[in-house]
């Protein structure tokens, strides 16, 4: 069997030369295979990266997307005995993600999508202008890393603040009009924390050597914090937003991709004094581990880790720290393709008569992701567990022997899990997650 040389995916996300300790991707782009014999062809299942050509041929002349064909190409090889190069080619990744995240309905036409895109760009610009009216650093190409206001709404007269927020006069003018609204105070209190996190996010990438890209990330997170007052901004959200900036040229398009991702994950970031937002998923993880690896679960409980708080980071930022940059993108698109629901777009849009009519149209099972299909077989009123829970469970399962024999306290558990950074295989993790999901469902059915 011959094939075009597998292209290293890292070449699309250039790393700064001085960053020599950055994990190297295990994901290779494979877009073509040739077979020396008919026997090889018969016994080899051709797994290929979703290429530009395959992506373009998935659209009808009017722009409707064959989502079933696309999903099959993305997660080809999952649950098979052969580890394959699937996933999405980096040059079209942003476009495909817009569908996987529910920004667009696969049954929409080119014209309908362009109209919706323009409406969203205008909406984003309006929100951004609202933010700029309050704090002119937004949209200026700059960002701040020092607090500009106290908790009671008074400006901070700090030289660093005045240097960074060189338009602070507008803020002082706003404050001099009278007491600030609580929403404005809460938002202004977040801006420097966003800036601090922006400076730390994906700093090994050449992309973020440019000030304009850093400020774009800050602007998007600042605008999101303004419109989502329940969540605002929490550490980790910059890790989720960063790939959107890199993959999509238009800032507004990046914002909407991030906003759709947050629709899935915002519950993880809603924390109170008495509970962590991701607590529900940690409880699910404990339940899954108890079923698939009871000995490990018992050991973790004995060590005082029965709340599974050591797994918070993996769930909060979807393994961004455990995998290389490129492999984490591959993992995300695999997750979204496996969990894909063709009604996703309608869950996020304001209902209208035409949307409701389109939603009622029957969908083939091939329009759902493989993971979602398995969930649909189970008749229950409970919401299905997300694949991220089973991915964490697969990591724990892989490290089960080490955890059982070497972990004598929670510090050891954290160390063992931290040591996996950059060494995990995203394709293998997805396959294991699917297997554990099936095993878990089977045991739950037997119990019921």
Q: Name the band, by pLDDT with cuts 50, 70 and 90, for residue 348.
A: confident
**342 versus 26: which is more confidently predicted?**
342
Q: Does the structure show a pLDDT above 60 at 133? A: yes
Six token digits for residue 153 = 């709404």
313 or 447, which is more confident? 313
Give the per-residue pLDDT at 172. 62
Which distant-in-sequence residues (6+ apart) come within 8 Å of 402 by Cβ?
Answer: 416
Q: What is the DSSP string of 308-326?
A: -GGGHHHHHTTTTTTS-HH
Question: Per residue in 83-117, pLDDT tens?
Answer: 445 789 999 999 999 999 999 999 999 999 999 99
What per-residue confidence (pLDDT) applies to 362?
A: 56
pLDDT band at 217 (very low <50, low <70, confident <90, very high): very high
Give the tens place of pLDDT for each residue, 325-343.
999 999 999 999 999 999 9
List the single range of 26-30, 75-79, 304-308 with lowest mean pLDDT: 75-79
pLDDT band (50, 70, 90) for residue 179: confident
Quick check: helix, strand or coil at residue 50? strand
SS3 assignment, position 254: helix
Dihedrals phi, psi of 34, to nearest 5 degrees: -125, 145
Do 277-447 and 110-269 fall under one CATH topology? no
Per-residue pLDDT, 37: 46
In this structure, what are the phi and psi dihedrals at residue 424, rounded to the nearest 5 degrees?
-80, 150
CATH code of the domain made up of 277-447? 1.10.472
| Fold observed for domain 110-269 | Helicase, Ruva Protein; domain 3 (1.10.8)
- Bridge partners of 2, per DSSP, are 34
Judge whether 439 and 292 are in contact, CB under 8 Å.
Answer: yes
- Please report the pLDDT score of residue 196 as a whole number: 96
- Domain spans in the chain, listed from the N-terminal domain onward: 110-269, 277-447
Higher pLDDT, 89 or 38: 89
Lowest mean pLDDT across 52-61, 66-75, 78-87, 315-324: 78-87
**Nearest Cα residue to 88 out of 9, 14, 13, 34:** 9
Question: Averaged over 351-363, what is the pLDDT?
Answer: 58
Please give the average per-residue pLDDT across 130-145, as a whole number: 92
The reported pTM is: 0.90
Kindly report which listed range (34-43, 363-372, 381-390) carries the lowest average pLDDT score: 34-43
Neighbours of 38 (CB within 10 A): 8
Total count of residues recorded for the chain: 448
The pLDDT tens digits for 228-269 are: 999 999 999 999 999 999 999 999 999 999 999 999 998 888
Partners of 155 in the β-ladder? 149
Better-predicted residue by pLDDT, 382 or 49: 49
Q: Give me the mean pLDDT over the 200-217 stretch.
A: 96
């Amino acid at each position: 069997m011959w094939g075009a040389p597998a292209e290293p995916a890292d070449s699309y996300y250039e790393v700064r030369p001085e960053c020599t300790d950055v994990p190297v991707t295990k994901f290779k782009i494979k877009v073509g295979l040739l077979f020396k014999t008919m026997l090889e062809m018969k016994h080899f299942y051709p797994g290929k990266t979703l290429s530009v050509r395959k992506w373009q041929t998935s659209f009808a002349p009017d722009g409707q997307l064959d989502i079933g064909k696309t999903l099959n190409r993305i997660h080809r090889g999952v649950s098979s005995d052969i580890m394959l190069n699937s996933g999405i080619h980096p040059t079209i990744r942003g476009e495909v993600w817009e569908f996987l995240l529910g920004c667009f309905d696969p049954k929409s036409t080119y014209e309908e999508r362009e109209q919706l895109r323009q409406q969203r760009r205008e909406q984003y610009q309006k929100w951004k202008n609202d933010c700029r009216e309050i704090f002119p650093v937004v949209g200026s190409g700059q960002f701040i890393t020092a607090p500009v206001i106290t908790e009671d709404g008074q400006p901070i007269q700090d030289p660093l603040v005045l240097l960074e927020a060189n338009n602070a006069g507008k803020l002082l003018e706003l404050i001099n009009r009278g007491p600030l609204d609580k929403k404005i105070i809460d938002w202004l209190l977040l801006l420097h924390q966003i800036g601090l996190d922006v400076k730390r996010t994906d700093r090994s990438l050449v992309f973020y050597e440019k000030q304009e890209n850093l400020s774009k990330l800050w602007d998007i997170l600042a605008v999101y914090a303004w419109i989502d007052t329940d969540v605002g901004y929490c550490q980790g959200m910059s890790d989720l937003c960063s790939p959107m900036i890199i993959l999509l040229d238009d800032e507004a398009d990046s914002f909407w991709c991030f906003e759709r991702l947050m629709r899935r994950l915002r519950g993880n970031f809603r924390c109170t004094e008495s509970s962590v937002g991701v607590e529900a998923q940690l409880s699910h993880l404990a339940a899954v581990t108890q079923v698939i690896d009871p000995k490990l679960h018992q050991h973790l409980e004995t060590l005082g880790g029965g709340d599974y708080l050591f797994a918070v980071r993996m769930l909060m930022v979807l393994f961004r720290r455990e995998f290389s940059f490129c492999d984490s993108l591959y993992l995300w698109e695999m997750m979204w393709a496996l969990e894909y629901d063709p009604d996703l777009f309608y869950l996020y849009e304001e209902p209208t008569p035409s949307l409701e009519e389109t939603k009622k149209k029957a969908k083939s099972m091939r329009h759902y992701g493989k993971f979602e299909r398995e969930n649909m077989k189970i008749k229950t009123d409970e919401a299905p567990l997300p694949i991220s829970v089973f991915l964490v469970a697969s990591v724990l399962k892989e490290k089960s022997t080490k955890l059982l024999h070497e972990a004598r306290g929670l510090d050891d558990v954290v160390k063992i899990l931290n040591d996996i950074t950059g060494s995990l295989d995203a394709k293998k993790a997805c396959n294991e997650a699917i297997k554990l999901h099936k095993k878990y469902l089977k045991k739950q059915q037997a119990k019921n």
